């Protein structure tokens, strides 16, 4: 009797949204159940780490990994699941590019520490900070130390495929699963290793139904100053900083359809080396001014440039972090 191939889904420094996106494929989850044995998926099944350790190497056919590498445990699990999996997919923005929690790379780790255990509602007169190792009367308790900054999955292990999105949209997940089922039946081939899957090759602008004209931006404005925006016209043209021009397609431009600017969760478009740099180019190209003072005035309309351009992508950008993140290195 042939055994079903094994499937795993694991979350590291993540929010669980990718798990929900997978559950949102609806009835198709039953097909996953029919074709795979779910070997490890902490949100849904009770298999433990020791069960994974006991598997032979390469025994899990497909592992969807969501979450960034934020602490030592995340890195340990990345190496473990890499060993035990034939195919490892960096699933979702945290795994592929660090995602929003990657913004922690703009600050020194020590300062972050001082914030949390001393907030206005925290009662901590002894200034206690959680430790990787604590002696309690009964023995030793260990919690994983944090790494110096947020890393992406491919920065610590070899990755086979990348699936962008925060989270990847469910119709894309369903399409990828359909491809996997076809491959299992010998009816299709896997794309080349290292490919981006479950997304388009263009930008969000291509999927956006709003009318686009030649852009001549005289001001960038905050969405609450413009609302309600003209529902038929490009948001960027209305001065709202929309990240569509540099962001990979695949999401069907859902946010702009609903009146909200694209914030870039599908990561860089095809062929882009640094997401923020490309978005800067796009915005700069459409600003309608030639005098430095006028340009600066228009740029004042983007009050948080680092966040605007690297919201999801900082950990995977050319710089990977802001300068303060390296303070403890003595640099």
Partner 1 sequence: MERITIDPITRLEGHGKIDIFLDENGDVANSYFQIPELRGFERFCVGRPVEEMPLLTNRICGVCPEAHHMAAAKAADAVYHVDPPRTAKLLRELLYMAFYCTDHTTHFYALGGPDFIVGPDAPVAERNILGVVHKVGLEIGGKVIQMRKYGHKVVEMIGGRKVHPATAIPGGVTKILSEEERKEIEAMGRWAIDFALFSLQAFNDIVLSNKTYLDLILGDVYYHRTYSMGLVDENNKVNFYDGKVRVVDPDGKEFVKYEPKDYMNHIAEHVEPWTYLKFPYLKKVGWKGFVDGKDSGVYFATPLSRLNAADGMATPRAQEHYEKMYATLGGKPVHHRLAIHWARLIELLYAAEHWVELATDPEITSPHVHNKPTEIPTEGVGIVEAPRGTLTHHYWTDEKGLLTKVNLIVGTTNNYAPIQMSTNKAARALIKGGKVNEGLLNMIEMAFRAYDPCFGCATHSLPGQMPLEVTIHNASGEIMEVLKRD
Partner 2 sequence: MSETFEPVIIGFTCNWCSYRAADLAGTARMKYAPNVRLIRLMCSGRLDPTFVMKALASGADGVLITGCHPGECHYIEQNYKALRRYLLLRRVLKGMGIEPERVKLVWASAAEGMKLAQEINTFVEEIRALGPLGWNRKLAGNGHKVEEPALEVAA
21-50 residues near partner 1, rule: CB under 8 A: 21, 23-24, 26-27, 29-30, 33, 38, 42-50
Extract the tokens encoding 157.
């292990």
Q: Which of 58, 110, 194, 201 binds partner 1 (CB under 8 A)?
A: 110
DSSP string, 131-171: -SEEEETTEEEE-PPEEEEEE-GGGTS--SEEE-SSSPPHH
Extract the tokens encoding 311.
């919201």
Tell me which H or E stretch contains 84.
Answer: helix 72-84
Distances, alpha carbon 51 to alpha carbons 33, 48, 64, 90, in Å: 19, 5, 17, 22
- How many residues form the binding site for partner 1 (CB under 8 A)? 97
Q: Out of partner 1, partner 2, none, which partner does residue 293 contact, by CB within 5 to 8 A per kind?
A: none
| Of residues 81 and 160, the one with the C-beta less far from partner 1 | 81
Binding mask 146-175 for partner 2 (x = CB under 8 A): --x---------------------------
Distances, alpha carbon 4 to alpha carbons 40, 62, 72, 80, 294, in Å: 14, 12, 32, 21, 64
Distances, alpha carbon 14 to alpha carbons 46, 160, 200, 295, in Å: 19, 20, 24, 38
Binding mask 22-61 for partner 2 (x = CB under 8 A): ----------------------------------------
| Of residues 137 and 292, the one with the C-beta less far from partner 1 | 137
Q: Out of partner 1, partner 2, none, which partner does residue 305 contact, by CB within 5 to 8 A per kind?
A: partner 2
Residues in region 177-236 near partner 1 by CB under 8 A:
222-225, 227-229
| Of residues 259 and 307, the one with the C-beta less far from partner 2 | 307
Q: Out of partner 1, partner 2, none, which partner does residue 124 contact, by CB within 5 to 8 A per kind?
A: partner 1
Q: Which of 287, 311, 313, 316 binds partner 2 (CB under 8 A)?
A: 287
CA distance 20 to 23: 5
CA 16 to chain centre: 12
CA 93 to chain centre: 1
Helix (H, G, I), strand (E, B) or coil at 127: coil
* Cross-strand bridge partners of residue 248: 203
Extract the tokens encoding 88.
């490892």
DSSP string, 168-232: PPHHHHHHHHHHHHHHHTTSS-PPPTT-B-SS-SSBHHHH--SB-----BS----HHHHPSPPTT
Query: If binding is defined by CB under 8 A, does position 330 make contact with partner 2?
Result: yes
Least gap, CB of 89 to partner 1 (angstroms) = 17
Q: Out of partner 1, partner 2, none, which partner does residue 190 contact, by CB within 5 to 8 A per kind?
A: none
Residues in region 261-280 near partner 2 by CB under 8 A:
273-274, 276-278, 280
Q: Which of 2, 189, 213, 290 binds partner 2 (CB under 8 A)?
A: 290
- Residues forming contacts to partner 2 in the complex (CB under 8 A) are 106, 148, 273-274, 276-278, 280-281, 283-285, 287, 289-290, 292, 295-296, 299, 302, 304-307, 309-310, 317-320, 322-324, 326, 329-331
């Amino acid at each position: 009797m042939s055994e079903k191939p094994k499937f795993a889904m694991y979350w590291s420094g993540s929010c669980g949204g990718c798990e929900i996106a997978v559950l949102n494929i609806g009835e198709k989850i039953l097909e996953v159940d029919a074709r795979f044995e779910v070997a490890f998926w902490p949100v849904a099944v009770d298999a433990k780490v020791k069960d994974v350790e006991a598997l032979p190497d390469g025994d899990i056919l497909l592992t969807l990994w969501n979450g960034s590498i934020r602490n030592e445990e995340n890195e340990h699990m990345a190496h473990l699941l890499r060993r035990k999996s034939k195919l490892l997919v960096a699933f979702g923005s945290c795994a592929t590019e660090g995602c929003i929690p990657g913004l922690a790379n703009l600050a020194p780790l020590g300062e972050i520490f001082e914030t949390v255990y001393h907030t206005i509602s925290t009662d901590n007169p002894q200034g206690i900070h959680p430790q990787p190792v604590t002696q309690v009367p009964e023995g030793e308790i260990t919690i994983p130390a944090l790494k110096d900054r947020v890393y992406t999955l491919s920065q610590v292990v070899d990755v086979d495929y990348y699936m962008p999105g925060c989270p990847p949209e469910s119709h894309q997940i369903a399409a990828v699963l359909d491809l996997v089922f076809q491959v299992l039946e010998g009816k299709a081939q896997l794309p080349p290793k290292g490919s981006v899957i479950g997304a388009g090759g263009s930008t969000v602008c291509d999927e956006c139904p709003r009318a686009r004209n030649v852009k001549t931006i005289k001001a960038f404005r905050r969405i609450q100053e413009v609302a309600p925006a003209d529902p038929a016209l490009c948001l960027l043209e209305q001065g709202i900083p929309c990240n569509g021009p540099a962001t990979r397609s695949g999401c069907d431009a859902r946010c702009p359809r609903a009146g909200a600017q694209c914030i870039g969760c599908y990561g860089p478009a095809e062929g882009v080396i640094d997401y923020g740099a490309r978005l800067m180019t796009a915005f700069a190209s459409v600003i309608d001014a030639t005098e430095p003072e006028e340009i600066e005035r228009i740029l004042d309309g983007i009050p948080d440039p680092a966040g605007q351009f690297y919201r999801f992508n900082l950990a995977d950008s050319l710089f990977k972090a802001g300068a303060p993140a390296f303070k403890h290195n003595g640099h």
